[in-house]
Amino acid sequence: MKLYGIPNCTTVKKARAWLAERQLDVVFHDFKKQGVDPDWLAGVAAQTGWQALLNTRGTTWRKLSDAEKAAAGDAAGALALMQAQSSVIKRPVLEVEGRYHLGFDEAQYQSLFKHL
């Protein structure tokens, strides 16, 4: 199990705390320190949809120029933007048994780990 994100992101902090409270062993991948592998990014986008993976609600997105936003209007452009600016990737990304789950929602996590 692996959690991808940025450590100072509030939502990532909530997910990490939730997982830690339940003593779930999770490896954390810091986009800022470890980067974003393009093949990994393409795989997540293929599973979740690039539109869901692109965070258009965050500060980084709001700071982009209209031209940069427009360039992210298709899969190739969105993936290029996410590769260049990892802060526009929806966080956290939780990988469990080869499946990717975007964002943190306590009910979703409880469902994923209902065996606890």
End-to-end CA distance of the chain: 15
Could you tell me the domains of the chain? Answer: 2-112 (3.40.30.10)
Query: Residues 55, 89: contact at Cβ < 8 Å?
Result: yes
Using 50 as the pLDDT threshold, list the residues of the chain that sit under it: none
Task: Give the closest residue to 62 by CA, choosing from 83, 81, 88.
Answer: 88
Stated pTM of the model = 0.93
Contacts of 22 (CB under 8 A, 6+ apart): 113, 116
Catalytic residues: 9
Task: Give the pLDDT confidence of 8-31 residue by residue, as tens digits.
Answer: 999 999 999 999 999 999 999 999
